[in-house]
Amino acid sequence: MQRLAPALREDNVPLDLISLIKTILAATKEISFRVSQAHLGGLMGSTLDENIQGEVQKKLDVVANELFKDILLESGFVKAISSEEEDTSVGGDKDGKFIVSFDPLDGSSNIDINSLIGTIFSIHEAPKDAEPSDPDMFKQSGNRQVCAGYVLYGPSTMLVMTTGSGTHFYVLDRTHGGYLLVERNVQVPQDTQEFAINMSNQRFWQEPMQNYISDLLAGDTGPRGKNFNMRWIAAMVGDIHRVLTRGGLFTYPSDNRNPEKPYKLRLMYEANPMSFLIEQAGGLAMTSEGRIMDIEPSDIHQRVEVIMGSKNEVEACLGYYK
């Protein structure tokens, strides 16, 4: 099995980007260890604080965020970072060539039940003339990502990453402490009989999504003529990992629970990096109006509708919006 750096060199990834990726992975190895020890180290449960998103922060959200942020800002490779857990972007090295957006712990509600969680990251080039303190440099579309990935802290710690030459799976080998390539050029099957959605929000969805899901639930006696299975891990990293592994449709559609917040998932920290991984694996990553990675961001914390996964199933779903 190939080690990470040679695998990246084979894909012609520039050396400075490889160095940044290694820095990110050093942080994930430490987070992986802390996650495994969370109960023993008194890191279960919530803090008394809310993040900028208005969500109560778990103790591990804060620990993972500080770790990731500090390691990146000390590296000299990044001009600034932006995190789901920070109010605004945080400046780093003036000569840093990259900016990194991240969700330090995705699936926080799974922490206390010892279930799947992960870290998601997205890398863009930093505009040369921008000041490190300028949050506007993060307003770049997903199309301009040079690397995206996530690390899943599951039964094994797995890295799933793309630099634009396919989506590859790596596993953390604890005997030598590095990530090893286990599957190159993962492909999302184009057809699927599995979907992922939080069904408890059904009454709040728009009509097209109501109709689509009800046709899936009708199974082989309905208009789709086949039965569908449903899964919901409540951690996008877990659900997208399943989709990348065996296909499926994952959606967090727009809903009218709170008119000021029609979407749940965040463009920079969740939707864009996952879209890059899914598209590089031959899947589709859309809103009901167009490609996610085409969106020109207006706010670093903006949220977006997400419909992604197996190509033919995403197209079938979008057909209901026409």
Question: Which residues of the chain form contacts with ligand AHG (CB under 6 A)?
Answer: 55, 84, 103, 106-109, 198, 234-236, 264
- Site map 97..126 versus Mn ion, x via CB under 5 A: ------x-xx--------------------
As separate numbers, helices (DSSP H) first and strands (DSSP E) second, the chain gives 7, 17
Sheet strands side by side (includes 229-230) = 229-230, 194-196, 249-252, 306-309, 284-286
Residue 79 or 266: the one with the smaller Cβ distance to Mn ion is 266
Smallest gap from residue 266 Cβ to ligand AHG (A) = 8
Q: Which does 214 bind (CB under 5 to 8 A by kind): Mn ion, ligand AHG, none?
A: none
Return the closest-CA partner of residue 286 out of 260, 262, 313, 256.
Answer: 313
Smallest gap from residue 264 Cβ to ligand AHG (A) = 6
93 forms part of the interface with Mn ion (CB under 5 A): no
The residue with tokens 């996008």 is: 236
Q: Which does 234 bind (CB under 5 to 8 A by kind): ligand AHG, Mn ion, none?
A: ligand AHG
Tokens of 119: 């870290």
Q: Which does 25 bind (CB under 5 to 8 A by kind): ligand AHG, Mn ion, none?
A: none
Residue 91 or 309: the one with the smaller Cβ distance to ligand AHG is 309
Return the closest-CA partner of residue 170 out of 12, 280, 8.
Answer: 8
Largest CA distance in the chain: 61
**SS3 of 198, please?**
coil
Residue 69 or 97: the one with the smaller Cβ distance to ligand AHG is 69
Q: Which residues contact 290 (CB under 8 A, 6 or more apart)?
A: none
Contacting positions for Mn ion (CB under 5 A): 84, 103, 105-106
